[in-house]
Chains A and B, each alone.
Chain A
Amino acid sequence: MIKAVMVMNTQGKPRLAKFYEYLPVEKQQELIRSVFAVLCSRAENVSNFIEAESIFGPDSRLVYKHFATLYFVFVFDSSENELAVLDLIQVFVETLDKCFKNVCELDIVFNYSKMHTILDEIIFGGQVLETSSTEVMKAVEEISKLEAASNAITLIPKSASGWRSR
């Protein structure tokens, strides 16, 4: 079972946070902070594991990957394989890369909903349901189309920025 997925930048600003059990927001913030505190103290080229039981309680493991300015962090329990979850991070990042064409931190900052859509295709209620980035892409595109179609009924754009960008 995956317990949480977090993406944060190297300054510790959260860019994506998903907890698969309900946690009050204060607790979420505290967890992200403590994870970052450990992450930023780690050297390059060391293993991708962090002792997580002191942060997330018994039977928790944590793997992370560092890409450019971002940390991708997955927290899970003993029913997942550590190396498989590392592969999963890779799948997630690859999918983002395909979606945003050379993904960078800004893409992630400005595409809050899409990030969640992608993640939800891969992980469902803490269980890994899809590990192929092509499949994920297909579904995400379908969903985007569906969203666009349902919005197209509104003729007048709702936002000021919508006007401006025309």
Chain B
Amino acid sequence: MSGPSLIDSLFQRTLEDLIKGLRQQLIGEQAFISKALEEIRKEIKSTDLSTKSTALLKLSYLSSLHFHDMAFASFHALEVLSSPRFSHKKIAYHAISLSFHDSTPVLLLITNHLRKDLTSTNEFEVSLSLQCLSRIANVDLARDLTPEIFTLLSSNKLYVRKRAVAVVLRVFEKYPDSVRVCFKRLVENLENYDPQILSAVVGVFCELACKDPRSYLPLAPEFYKILVDSKNNWVLIKVLKILAKLAPLEPRLAKRVVEPVCDHMRRTGAKSLLFECVRTVVTSLSEYDSAVRLAVGKVREFLVDEDPNLKYLGLQALSIVAPKHLWAVSENKEVVIKSLSDADPNIKIESLHLVMAMVSEHNVAEISRVLVNYALKADPEFCNEILNSILSTCSRNLYEIIVDFDWYVSLLGEMSRIPHCQKGEEIENQLIDIGLRVKQVRPELVRVARDLLIDPALLGNPFLHRVLSAAAWASGEYVEFSRNPLELMEALLQPRTSLLPPSIRAIYIQSAFKVLVFCLHTYLMQRESTTSSACPDNLPSGVSASVSYESFDGLSVENGGDAAVTHSLTSTSASMTDESIVNLLNLVEIALGPLLGSHDVEVQGRARNVLGFVDMTKLDLLNPSAQEDKGLERKGVEAYKTIELMHDAFSEELGPVSLTAQGKVPLPDGLMLKENLGDLEMICGDIELPSSNSFSFGSPYEEKVGVSFSNLQIKEDFEQSNESTSLLAEHRKRHGLYYLPSGKSEIISNDYPPANDPTSQGNVNDNSDDLAKLTEESLFPKKKPNHAKPRPVVVKLDEVDEKPIAMKKPEAKDDSLSGAVRDILLGSEDVIPTSSRSNLSGKPSSKRRGKEKQDTDPHVESKENLVDDGNPSSRRRKHHSHGKERRHKSPRKKNAEEREDNGQKEKEKSSHRHGRHKSRRRADELLNVSPQTPVIPDFLL
């Protein structure tokens, strides 16, 4: 071994030198550290323990604050640990606590060092060793050192004893059988009058009870005594935490502790204890009205406190109490609502939850309105938090609280226009879902969709694309409710749709197709009804177009609003004239032509479909427009049929599909889905898919159109991106080409406020007043004599829409620890003469399991005198005298046995067990049938 020379160790840098060097940063932090690490690697190999320990300390420093791995030094740490000097030990223990973990290879070598220090006369050495154990103990260490810890649990040095108590937590967790040895002493410490010891023990029980409260019910009387007697706030807080866990399991206990808890609540000046009392009452004692009232009174004091911490905790307490006592929230609603505009994000979110807890079907509209106004002003994060809670609250249980779906759909539309809105996906889902489920809402849905679609500004916001896709889908699917399909068509084909991702653009095109079919169908119907009575004022299309267009240009600005209103009242069918159909078809051709060259197959395919359809219709239906009307019918018969067919196809109602629908389809006989797929892959494997570029489309005519228009389109798009035109109307002025040249389009005018304009929203504070008023009114549901309309039917699918049953909380893991604890506790109860056998054996099977383990566990046997507490099973142990031999078997084996025991709770695996055992089991089973007797005998409380 080439250790460092004497000079090296003489001039070794101390930790202080290292820190100074780091701060000077002459060569840069990283370079300095790697140099230091190099030195450390050399120094740590030194045979001189001082040099070694200094190196180890430096390494710990670099590991702890500069995050360099120090696993390589684990053996050196052990060497330093063996030093007789306290300072070296301290450094070594620190390094070990920092870097050792369950899979550190040298972990087992530490046992003897620890044992030596645990039995040291110097309390600080003992403390160091316990501290280290509390951090690194694994099964083996816990098992091997249990005797030492047992001794220390009754040490007369308080400094040591409280640490021994604390270390028990880790030891129990790693090696449950140590419970049999140490538990009794731990409980004895519970009766200690030294507040420090008491605090430590109660802390340990608090941790234990959190994991498995039921096992500690027998100790309830002790905890109750501490609750009444103790004056130490730390202890009281911990005891309250324990009791909060135990009370729900044992109603009689709850009844007993209510009064003392309330006393503390009234008397204490410490906010921490007060809050713990409040929390205990609202979580575990919420059936006791007077206690809850007292607690809520205290919460109110918290809420109006200057300290934001108390306010935050007060709000938290309210949200715990809200599900059972909503009145508590409504009594404090002013504060809650005011907190929505607090500076602290924690408080804002907490109050938002509370506001949402107050929502009911009577006030959902008003509350949502106010919240949306808050969202408009909030920072992006909180804004989305608000939107999210509105969306999830309203959609809960299939829109349970929504009565007026028209309102909700328009709210969704409004929410998507909020500047920071990033909830596009959720809004999309809900829009489509509602469209499918609620028939009555479709007209309003189409209106909302239209408002979204016609605003070119929205296309520029990528977060809204999902919403727009839902809007496009809805307006296509339910186009029959549209007041102006032609306008919809314009919106769907407007140039800025090029900003959409291809998948959504495809939806736009498909919707445009549906609208087109609908228009043509309407047109034909109209034609049929007014056969041959040609409208006299039907001007030649060219003229009419230009005229109406000019007039629109001139007038729209002033008259836009009025025109829009009047127009929207006119019926759809009235608007279908020859010329509008021609324009419509032209529009489609112009807008979709360029897409024939799209690189996205979906877009390309759909555009191609629509154009094919347009071509056919145009040739058949409208080219002969110069001809006589009677000729039309003959010529158009082909197109007529197609349109009819498409219309029928599109008006087929789409409904929500059950999640399990696929599963319900019976598999046809002889169909072997899985088997043949492999072949398919083999067949298809060597077919090379041609890239979409290599497809060539259509006639030269189309090619030409496509090219010329795509150039145009590109130019347009370019302009688009430079100028932020927000209104379709302005678009029209500049790119009239893409719009239908008729007065009907006046509907697109200035009466739509620019997107995201918050000016129309009221003042937040006014709103909060409103909200306060609203919740006041509506929290006590007055009978609304007449809903404007009855709640529409929401289509539900049987069994599917039912919320997936929440995963049952896994039963408290009945692990070996709790088994052992119960065993001990119930065993000690046996000492009480009155306790009946039934009380003992009425225990769940874990009890039995515990005993079995006891039987097989030789370690305990060696300590039998310590555990022997009158449990009759100890007598039975005698026939296991061979246990002592097994003690020398490898620990691993023992663990395996233990695990096996745990795994086979119910099954008796024992091939080597005696018949006696079986009979015992039978007896147990018999007793298990009888209802489980309460764990705490009455007289204990």
Pick the contact of B13: A28, A87, A125, A159 (CB < 8 A): A159
Whether B346 lies near A25 (C-beta < 8 A) is no
A74-103 vs B, CB cutoff 8 Å, 1 = contact: the mask equals: 000011011110110000000000000000
Q: Which of A138-154 contact B (CB under 8 A)?
A: 139, 142-143, 146-147, 149-151, 153-154
Task: Report the contact-size class of chain A (Cβ under 8 Å from the partner).
Answer: 35 or more
Query: What is the interface of chain A, defined by CB distance below 8 A to chain B?
Result: 1, 14-18, 20, 22, 24-26, 28-29, 43, 45-51, 78-79, 81-84, 86-87, 109-110, 112-113, 116-117, 120, 124-131, 139, 142-143, 146-147, 149-151, 153-154, 156, 158-162
Whether B233 lies near A147 (C-beta < 8 A) is no
Min distance, Cβ A159 to any Cβ of chain B, angstroms:
4
Q: Which of B49-66 contact A (CB under 8 A)?
A: 50-51, 54, 57, 61, 63-65
Interface class of chain B by DSSP = helix
Binds A, one of B204-212, B694-702, B731-739, B785-793: B204-212
Question: A47 and B312 in contact (CB under 8 A), knowing A83-B272, A159-B13, A159-B54?
Answer: yes
Min distance, Cβ A142 to any Cβ of chain B, angstroms:
7
Whether B167 lies near A150 (C-beta < 8 A) is no
Task: Report the contact-size class of chain B (Cβ under 8 Å from the partner).
Answer: 35 or more
Q: Which of B221-251 contact A (CB under 8 A)?
A: 233-234, 237-238, 241
Q: Which residues from B are CB-within-8-Å of A29?
A: 67
Q: Which residues from A are CB-within-8-Å of B90?
A: 113, 117, 143, 147
Whether A143 lies near B124 (C-beta < 8 A) is yes
Whether B85 lies near A25 (C-beta < 8 A) is no
Min distance, Cβ A160 to any Cβ of chain B, angstroms:
5
B90-102 vs A, CB cutoff 8 Å, 1 = contact: the mask equals: 1100100000111
B187-214 vs A, CB cutoff 8 Å, 1 = contact: the mask equals: 0000000001001100110110010000
Query: What is the interface of chain B, defined by CB distance below 8 A to chain A?
Result: 9-17, 19, 23, 50-51, 54, 57, 61, 63-65, 67-69, 85-88, 90-91, 94, 100-102, 122, 124, 130-131, 134-136, 159, 162-163, 166-167, 169-170, 196, 199-200, 203-204, 206-207, 210, 233-234, 237-238, 241, 271-272, 275-276, 308-309, 311-313, 343-347, 349
Give B14's nearest chain A residue, CB to CB. A159
Question: A26 and B309 in contact (CB under 8 A), knowing A84-B233, A130-B196?
Answer: no
Question: A153 and B17 in contact (CB under 8 A), knowing A25-B67, A113-B57?
Answer: no
Pick the contact of B344: A18, A47, A79, A147 (CB < 8 A): A47
Task: Give CA–CA (A24, B311) in the complex, Å.
Answer: 37
Q: Looking at A14, A20, A51, A161, which has the most chain B CB atoms within 10 Å of its CB?
A: A161
Pick the contact of B14: A14, A26, A149, A161 (CB < 8 A): A161
Whether B124 lies near A49 (C-beta < 8 A) is no
Give A51's nearest chain B residue, CB to CB. B346
User: Which are the 3 A-B pairs with shortest beta-carbon distances?
Assistant: A125-B134, A83-B272, A46-B344
Question: A15 and B272 in contact (CB under 8 A), knowing A84-B237, A86-B309, A158-B10?
Answer: no
Would you give 25 A-B contacts (Cβ < 8 Å), ordered by A? A24-B69, A43-B344, A47-B311, A47-B347, A48-B308, A49-B346, A79-B207, A79-B241, A81-B241, A81-B276, A82-B275, A83-B275, A84-B234, A84-B276, A113-B15, A120-B131, A127-B203, A128-B203, A129-B200, A129-B203, A146-B122, A150-B88, A160-B12, A160-B17, A162-B14
Whether A26 lies near B67 (C-beta < 8 A) is yes
Give A38's nearest chain B residue, CB to CB. B345
Whether B50 lies near A154 (C-beta < 8 A) is yes
Whether A159 lies near B162 (C-beta < 8 A) is no
Task: Give CA–CA (A67, B237) in the complex, Å.
Answer: 27
Whether A124 lies near B163 (C-beta < 8 A) is yes
Task: Give CA–CA (A124, B166) in the complex, Å.
Answer: 7
Whether A28 lies near B169 (C-beta < 8 A) is no
Whether B69 lies near A43 (C-beta < 8 A) is no
Min distance, Cβ B685 to any Cβ of chain A, angstroms:
43
Min distance, Cβ B143 to any Cβ of chain A, angstroms:
18
